[in-house]
Amino acid sequence: MTGFVAALGLFTVIPVPPVAEIDRRLASRAMAAFPWVGLLVGAAAGAFLWLVTASGAGGFLGAALALAVAAGLTGALHLDGLADTADGLGSRKPAEAALAIMRKSDIGPMGVAALALALLIDAAALTSLAERGGALAAAALAVAAMAGRAVVTGSTVSRDSARQQGFGALFIGVTRPVTAAVTTVAGLVVAAGAGWLAGGVPGAVALAVAATAAGAVGLLWARRLARRLGGMTGDVFGSVIEVTQAACLVASAVLAGALGA
């Protein structure tokens, strides 16, 4: 529970009791709990989506408001990382110069485009899912939020850090391979269970397969960024979360339609 509370305090705006100074050991526990924090955030936003769609207000409005809830609960931390990473990559400059751009507090056109496209894709996928049922859309959002953070947990097995200092550097190399493996398996079980509750067997298959495919996309994106920038950073983690989440929602919508969930 110490790790979960630490993860809540570090990666959300949810008030928690003060935690002792974050050292590598506590960072490891927080990273192991990170996917479950994502599940909590996604479930809260998903519940809001379900309530809005159940009221008859429409799937798109429910999707937009749910994404706003998720961004509010995280302080838009990961969206900020996506924008910064897009600006760094869009500069087409060497790694050191790209990292310097990512450290700046302002946002450029590539960052704006990345934010707009990510949120639009998420909203469109959730709207498509909501047409098949608010419960399935809510479950997909919870699973997608969990999957994005599970990929980050897996990525912190690596000890490659683009910076020696900074918030992200604290988490580089803190996760053991066995922890990442157990987290992945547990996440797939949760995805299948959530899908089954929301859409029966087709829903279970859709969300489990979507989470698997999105995880692969997220890991490939993380590897690509690590090579391009010389390692991982906190902004890279945010980018990985948002890319994985979008991939999971899109895959969920496509598979739900194909399987009749």
Distance from C-alpha of 10 to C-alpha of 13, rounded to nearest angstrom: 8
pLDDT digits (tens, 9 = 90+) for 20-56: 678 888 989 999 999 999 999 999 999 999 999 999 9
Distance CA 153, CA 61 (A): 32
pTM: 0.95
CB 231 within 8 A of CB 119: no
Per-residue pLDDT tens for 179-222? 999 999 999 999 999 999 999 999 999 999 999 999 999 999 99
Residues 168 and 153: their CA atoms lie apart, in Å, by 12
